Amino acid sequence: MILNGKAIADTILDEVARKVQTFSRSPGLAFVLVGEHAPSFTYVNMKAKACLRTGIRSRIVRLPTLITEKELLGEIEKLNLDPHIDGILVQMPLPPQIDARKVIFSIDPEKDVDGFHPVNQGKLFYSDPSGFVPCTPLGITLLVEKSGLSWESKHVVIVGRSTIVGKPLANLLMQKRYNATVTVCHTATENLSRHTKAADIVVACSGIPHLIQRGMVSPRSVVVDVGISRREGKLCGDADFESLVNHVAAISPVPGGVGPMTIACLMQNTIKKQGMP
Ligand code: GUN
């Protein structure tokens, strides 16, 4: 089975659009885009297109590469105070003179639709549903569930320990709501194959193209591919899709798998506070 993230994301976007129509004012999402990092332009454009489709007002705040940290923090404070802005997303990566942590810490946790602020990470840690869950981990959980599969009592091996994906996903899947048994592998893991072979579900989020090969996973496993790399002008994931697609029980493609789910969950997060009774 191929996990069709694009189709599932479309149904989520339709649902968000329906909810937005019932609100007394349309939600606003601000994208802060610093510098000239080409993939960031692509990602922000894709996210802004999803806003257009769902009736969320989007604002792109473009800032120069050489902006100082103080100036950037000033821009975020303006957005924190702006009553028309419900969500603030600072696209990563940031230029080297900027301390990304300081920037994330400065976002109002109530507008932190990325779920990166320590208040929201803490709420995730405590299974407090009032917080924002980071979009990619949330998207991964929905991709699997809405494909008719389950996390319940599954052995999930996460390959990658990033702050954006690996760590929050491990946290989320340990919640009673999901009840998974979680192993997190990373660059210092010895014998990666030993772990991935034992997995019911492998989540590949290392950023290393084609790291997960056919010989590394069991034929009954599900492979969720979070990676997006460019190789010879083509997008490719952290899993070798061609060699795996006829070998495993299910796999998500790149593109068309986790990517659209991340964007759909960003829209869901943006209306979360307004969507609550
Ligand atoms: N850069 C790569 N992924 C993400 C993400 O999910 N959010 C933000 N803000 N930046 C990113």
Distance from the Cα of residue 65 to its chain's centroid: 24
Backbone angles phi, psi at 212, to 5 degrees: -90, 115
Amino acid making up residue 44: V
Q: Is the CB of 112 under 6 A from ligand 1?
A: no
Nearest to 1 by CA among 245, 237, 216: 245
pLDDT tens track for 24-33: 999 999 999 9
**pLDDT of amino acid 101:** 97
Distance 218 CA to ligand 1 centre (A): 31
Residue 155 banded pLDDT, cuts 50, 70, 90: very high
Instruction: Check if 25-109 and 135-259 are the same fold.
Output: yes
**pLDDT of amino acid 53:** 98
**pLDDT of amino acid 233:** 87
Token reading at 130: 């009032």
Distance from the Cα of residue 36 to its chain's centroid: 22
**Average confidence (pLDDT) over 105-114:** 98
- Cis ω for the linkage preceding 93 (within 30 of 0): yes
Residue-averaged pLDDT of the chain: 97
**pLDDT of amino acid 277:** 35
Catalytic annotation on 114? yes
**pLDDT of amino acid 146:** 98
Nearest to 262 by CA among 231, 235, 229, 227: 227
Q: Is the CB of 120 under 6 A from ligand 1?
A: no
Question: How far apart are the C-alpha atoms of 138 and 141, rounded to whole Å?
Answer: 5
In this structure, are residues 228 and 255 in contact, taking their beta carbons and an 8 Å threshold?
yes
Nearest to 120 by CA among 176, 177, 110: 110
Fold designation for 135-259: Rossmann fold (3.40.50)
107 contact partners, CB below 8 Å, separation of at least 6: 76, 80, 88, 90, 116, 117
Q: Which residue has the tokens 């060699």?
A: 243
Catalytic annotation on 91? yes
- The DSSP code sequence of 9-41 is HHHHHHHHHHHHHHSSS--EEEEEEES--HHHH
pLDDT tens track for 167-193: 999 999 999 999 999 999 999 999 999
| Per-domain residue ranges of the chain | 25-109, 135-259
pLDDT tens track for 57-91: 999 999 999 999 999 999 999 999 999 999 999 99
- Confidence check: pLDDT of 262 > 50: yes
Distance from the Cα of residue 237 to its chain's centroid: 15
Q: What is the number of helices (H) and of strands (E) in the chain?
A: 11, 10
Distance 207 CA to ligand 1 centre (A): 13
Catalytically annotated residue among 86, 91, 225, 272? 91
**pLDDT of amino acid 274:** 83
- Cis ω for the linkage preceding 219 (within 30 of 0): no
pLDDT tens track for 33-61: 999 999 999 999 999 999 999 999 999 99
In this structure, are residues 273 and 245 in contact, taking their beta carbons and an 8 Å threshold?
no
- Confidence check: pLDDT of 116 > 90: yes
**pLDDT of amino acid 275:** 53
pTM exceeds 0.85, yes or no: yes
Amino acid making up residue 137: P
**pLDDT of amino acid 231:** 87
User: Which CATH architecture describes the domain 25-109?
Assistant: 3-Layer(aba) Sandwich (3.40)
Angle (CA) 267 271 276, round 5°: 145
Distance 53 CA to ligand 1 centre (A): 20
**pLDDT of amino acid 44:** 98
Q: Is the CB of 205 under 6 A from ligand 1?
A: no
State the Rg of the chain over Cα. 19
Question: How far apart are the C-alpha atoms of 186 and 169, rounded to whole Å?
Answer: 14
